[in-house]
Chain A
């Protein structure tokens, strides 16, 4: 950081009008594109008054939807943290055939359309699917039920934890772990005492991103959920449902709560990113 002032001054020697024009128009664009819509929904909700706001949030459909979002998010975080860590450890320490392919597949959820993801699960886990027929023979319904919604959320959030801790594990090397093993530590002790402390902030960052995405996921969950009120409706599905039914007050109230949650998560993300030691641009 001590080098920065010198650098900045060398290039733009003058306070040229062009400079102001560029920064002014870029910031204006950002304000119009991103910040103004946020203010818009805030203003709209205030206009309807606190009573309607609270009433809409307290409606049974809304409460159940938020409860379901919370439940799915917790399950997704737990499973993807455990398996994401295992995946990252396997990818960083083991060599086997097909490893490159496995690593490539992990990024697919970032690239594929949520609707297509949902369709993939309908085909595989639906009542006539390869795996779905097995489950339905055992009396377990996956698609158009909670398990399917969890699977869809697991899919879209799978890369976050892996992608955050894999580089840390790769850079960290194995010397310290090997030293611990040589000194008589068990595998389990080595993981808790040596590996985990080194990846903890990367892990925390990955988990925060997972939470944000799990709360906000819409397309994939919608396709596999069937969207039954009070049963298979998460908060985002509820907002969509209320909006298309022209119950805008209900939609706005829930949307504002989700937007506030995203803001909180974003703040946590910034803090964790700094702890992680990321030189966050600025």
Chain B
């Protein structure tokens, strides 16, 4: 049957053409254009751009802030998923629905909300200020913004896995005398690990690229509180498109890397499911 299948007709060929043209114009060509422009200046000039003090500081800051955010989000996100699946409490359905709020709210609005709440003129802001901690227009504000915009990723990756998890293994472990914590770390955590890693990778990638909320809360002082996307934006604004190429290419490359990593985690856990 499949051998004698007739070649695709005009209908399906034109559909394919339309699909390829659309993705080509919107995604593939832009990626090729920026890569060729970035590499067109030669590897050495790309290297000089990335290693310029301001670009280097921006990249370091972005990676550090994203890393701190992921550490916190992995713990709180997994705990949130755990509480939503395993515990019963009032308003659970409403709270479950509200987990997605950060995805729905525009990033600029997020930034402004954080400034209103923790800014220098707010009650909380002055409180922290008295303790010597500046949140807004400083690094804690960046971490806070990143925590907000990425909050749902880990929760929503872990939740379905936790729901499908049968309690047999946990019960068996406890019957055999394992303590709660041993059961959690030896049985539950390994099962959840691929989902936690997926959530972490999604959060991390989002944090590397986050702009709207960060540009409002960070203060954007070069070498101090300027993240990589804000640096790229600044260079574009001041007409230095070429010097923004190094950092942009780095960010683009890390996006690809995260996508590939997610695909690998997905394949691995699928094979795992099939083999059991």
Chain A interface residues toward B at CB < 8 A:
7-8, 10-12, 19, 22-23, 25-27, 29-30, 33-38, 40-41, 44, 83, 86-87, 89-91, 93-94, 96, 102, 104-109, 111-124, 129-131, 151, 154-155, 158, 187, 212, 215-219, 222-223, 235-236, 239-240, 243, 251-252, 255, 258-259, 262-263, 265-266, 269-270, 279-282
**Cα distance A204–B119 in the bound complex, in angstroms:** 39
Q: Are B106 and A154 in contact (CB under 8 A)?
A: no
- CB within 8 A of B171: which of A10, A83, A251, A262? A10
Q: List 24 A-B contacts (CB under 8 A).
A: A7-B167, A26-B83, A27-B89, A29-B80, A34-B101, A34-B102, A37-B114, A38-B101, A41-B116, A86-B15, A90-B12, A94-B8, A102-B19, A106-B27, A116-B209, A116-B248, A122-B241, A155-B26, A155-B27, A219-B107, A243-B108, A270-B97, A281-B160, A281-B163
Contact A116:B252 (CB < 8 A) given known A37-B116, A122-B241: yes
Neighbouring B residues of A104 by C-beta, 8 Å: 259, 263
Chain B window 35-51, contacts with chain A (Cβ cutoff 8 Å), 1 for yes, 0 for no: 00100000000000000
Q: Are A115 and B33 in contact (CB under 8 A)?
A: no
Tell whether B216 is near chain A: CB-to-CB under 8 Å: yes
**Cα distance A154–B23 in the bound complex, in angstroms:** 10
Neighbouring B residues of A281 by C-beta, 8 Å: 81, 84-85, 96, 156, 159-160, 163
Contact A218:B107 (CB < 8 A) given known A37-B114, A108-B259, A269-B100: yes
**Cα distance A114–B205 in the bound complex, in angstroms:** 12
Tell whether B177 is near chain A: CB-to-CB under 8 Å: no
Chain B window 1-37, contacts with chain A (Cβ cutoff 8 Å), 1 for yes, 0 for no: 0000000100110011011101101111111011001
Contact A123:B255 (CB < 8 A) given known A187-B11, A252-B112: no
Neighbouring A residues of B99 by C-beta, 8 Å: 30
**Cα distance A112–B259 in the bound complex, in angstroms:** 10
Identify the stretch in B126-134, B228-236, B268-276 within 8 Å (CB) of chain A at 4 or more residues.
B228-236
Task: Decide if the interface of chain A is mainly helix, strand, loop or mixed.
Answer: helix
Tell whether B176 is near chain A: CB-to-CB under 8 Å: no
Interface residues on B, range: 35 or more
Q: Are B37 and A123 in contact (CB under 8 A)?
A: yes
**Cα distance A91–B20 in the bound complex, in angstroms:** 11
5 more A-B residue pairs beyond the given contacts A112-B255, A114-B212, A252-B112, with a C-beta to C-beta distance below 8 A: A102-B23, A120-B34, A236-B212, A240-B108, A266-B104
**Cα distance A216–B236 in the bound complex, in angstroms:** 22
**Cα distance A34–B103 in the bound complex, in angstroms:** 11
- CB within 8 A of B18: which of A36, A83, A122? A83
Shortest Cβ distance from A121 into B: residue = B30
**Cα distance A230–B43 in the bound complex, in angstroms:** 42
Shortest Cβ distance from B165 into A: residue = A7
- CB within 8 A of A119: which of B16, B97, B236? B236
Shortest distance in angstroms between A124's beta carbon and chain B's nearest beta carbon? 4
Residue with the greatest number of chain A CB neighbours at <10 A, chosen from B100, B106, B114 = B106
Q: Are B95 and A120 in contact (CB under 8 A)?
A: no
Neighbouring B residues of A219 by C-beta, 8 Å: 107, 211-212, 229, 233
Q: Are B148 and A236 in contact (CB under 8 A)?
A: no
Shortest distance in angstroms between A269's beta carbon and chain B's nearest beta carbon? 7
Q: Are B113 and A37 in contact (CB under 8 A)?
A: yes
- CB within 8 A of B33: which of A94, A106, A124? A124
Shortest Cβ distance from A254 into B: residue = B109
User: Total number of A-B contacts with CB less than 8 angstroms?
Assistant: 266
Tell whether B65 is near chain A: CB-to-CB under 8 Å: no
**Cα distance A252–B11 in the bound complex, in angstroms:** 51
| Top-4 shortest CB links A-B | A113-B209, A216-B106, A120-B30, A219-B211
**Cα distance A236–B100 in the bound complex, in angstroms:** 20
**Cα distance A33–B31 in the bound complex, in angstroms:** 35
Shortest Cβ distance from A25 into B: residue = B79
Shortest distance in angstroms between A84's beta carbon and chain B's nearest beta carbon? 9
- CB within 8 A of A41: which of B28, B29, B80, B113? B113
Q: Are A282 and B92 in contact (CB under 8 A)?
A: yes
Residue with the greatest number of chain B CB neighbours at <10 A, chosen from A105, A116, A120, A223 = A116
- CB within 8 A of A158: which of B27, B86, B232? B27
Q: Are B112 and A251 in contact (CB under 8 A)?
A: yes
Q: Are A122 and B236 in contact (CB under 8 A)?
A: yes
Contact A154:B116 (CB < 8 A) given known A26-B80, A116-B251: no
Shortest distance in angstroms between B164's beta carbon and chain A's nearest beta carbon? 10
Q: Are B19 and A108 in contact (CB under 8 A)?
A: no
**Cα distance A216–B256 in the bound complex, in angstroms:** 24
**Cα distance A252–B212 in the bound complex, in angstroms:** 15
Shortest distance in angstroms between A31's beta carbon and chain B's nearest beta carbon? 9
Q: Are B104 and A265 in contact (CB under 8 A)?
A: yes
**Cα distance A150–B16 in the bound complex, in angstroms:** 23
Shortest Cβ distance from B249 into A: residue = A116
Neighbouring B residues of A263 by C-beta, 8 Å: 101, 104
**Cα distance A122–B208 in the bound complex, in angstroms:** 21
Q: Are A216 and B107 in contact (CB under 8 A)?
A: yes
Tell whether B137 is near chain A: CB-to-CB under 8 Å: no
Shortest Cβ distance from A118 into B: residue = B236
